[in-house]
Amino acid sequence: MTSHAVSAYDAETLPALATLLETRRSAMPDTLVGPGPSPEELSHILTIALRVPDHGRLAPWRLILIAGETKQRWLERLFEIAETRDDAAKARVSTRKLQSAPLVVAVVSSPIPGHKIPEWEQQLSAGAMAMNLLNGVNAFGYGANWLTGWHAYDPQATAMLNLKDNERIAGVIAVGSVTKPAPERERATQDRVVSWLEL
Ligand SMILES: Cc1cc2nc3c(=O)[nH]c(=O)nc-3n(C[C@H](O)[C@H](O)[C@H](O)COP(=O)(O)O)c2cc1C
């Protein structure tokens, strides 16, 4: 490995970082319980999340932290809204996934409409932020699961998050201590999705 690859890390740290990234996987949301990250750990995790490529330095995203009594109120309201939907049974199940985790982070894509940086690129940056958040959470020994579900799209549900007209939920990420590691799942193989360009 070249020594200039990541200057902030020494040769001992790099393999551990690579292993973390090579083996990371989500925890099932209902296996996430308290305690969640401490305020200091959370601050590091958020720093990692915000350290994301962002064409034009627009910061076209924001994060909403949902925890404690507010999370209880948010969930109660989600369950109420779920009952008004045509797919109430499904919506109820999907809402239950958010119950046990002590922290939920809504990653909001907040692109600037009409900017010379295409909205697609601004939205991609929010996706990268969600991924960085997962890696940050894992780096501090906690688990996470990137969800969306009905509540990321339902106007009554998103109204609780005070989304502006240009904003969308990129992810509702459940965070907590992992009680049961998720089994490994099949991954796309390199030979199926990677190719060398030949001209
Ligand atoms: C944008 C996005 C939205 C997702 N929404 C849901 C969801 O609503 N419900 C669900 O069960 N999984 C959802 N997933 C998938 C979970 O995050 C899933 O556990 C994840 O793909 C596991 O991948 P990993 O093993 O690489 O961590 C979503 C994934 C992405 C990227």
Nearest to 34 by CA among 71, 89, 82, 76: 71
Cα–Cα distance for residue pair 199/195, rounded to 1 Å:
12
Residue 174 Cα to ligand 1 midpoint, Å, equals 11
The pLDDT, as a whole number, for residue 14 is 81
The pLDDT, as a whole number, for residue 9 is 67
The pLDDT, as a whole number, for residue 11 is 78
The answer to whether 10 and 17 have CB atoms below 8 angstroms apart is no
DSSP per-residue letters across 24-52: --PPPGGGEES----HHHHHHHHHHHH--
Q: What is the CA radius of gyration of the chain?
A: 18
User: Nearest residue CA, atom 20 of ligand 1?
Assistant: 26
Residue 54 Cα to ligand 1 midpoint, Å, equals 23
Ligand 1 contact via 60 beta carbon (within 6 Å): no
Residue 111 Cα to ligand 1 midpoint, Å, equals 22
Ligand 1 contact via 164 beta carbon (within 6 Å): no
Q: Where are the beta strands (DSSP E) in 15-142?
A: 32-33, 61-67, 103-109
Pocket test for ligand 1, best of 146, 180, 186 (most atoms within 8 A of CB): 146
Q: What are the tens digits of pLDDT across the range 109-122?
A: 999 999 999 999 99
Q: What are the tens digits of pLDDT across the range 122-145?
A: 999 999 999 999 999 999 999 999
Cα–Cα distance for residue pair 27/132, rounded to 1 Å:
16
User: Nearest residue CA, atom 12 of ligand 1?
Assistant: 147
Domains in the chain, CATH or no CATH each: 27-176 (3.40.109.10)
User: Nearest residue CA, atom 26 of ligand 1?
Assistant: 25
Residue 146 Cα to ligand 1 midpoint, Å, equals 5
Q: What are the tens digits of pLDDT across the range 56-103?
A: 999 999 999 999 999 999 999 999 999 999 999 999 999 999 999 999
Torsion angle in degrees (nearest 10) through CA of 36, 39, 40, 44:
70
Cα–Cα distance for residue pair 130/171, rounded to 1 Å:
7
The pLDDT, as a whole number, for residue 5 is 52
Instruction: Pick the atom of ligand 1 nearest to 185's CA.
Output: 25
The answer to whether 143 and 175 have CB atoms below 8 angstroms apart is yes
Residue 15 pLDDT class (50, 70, 90 cuts): confident
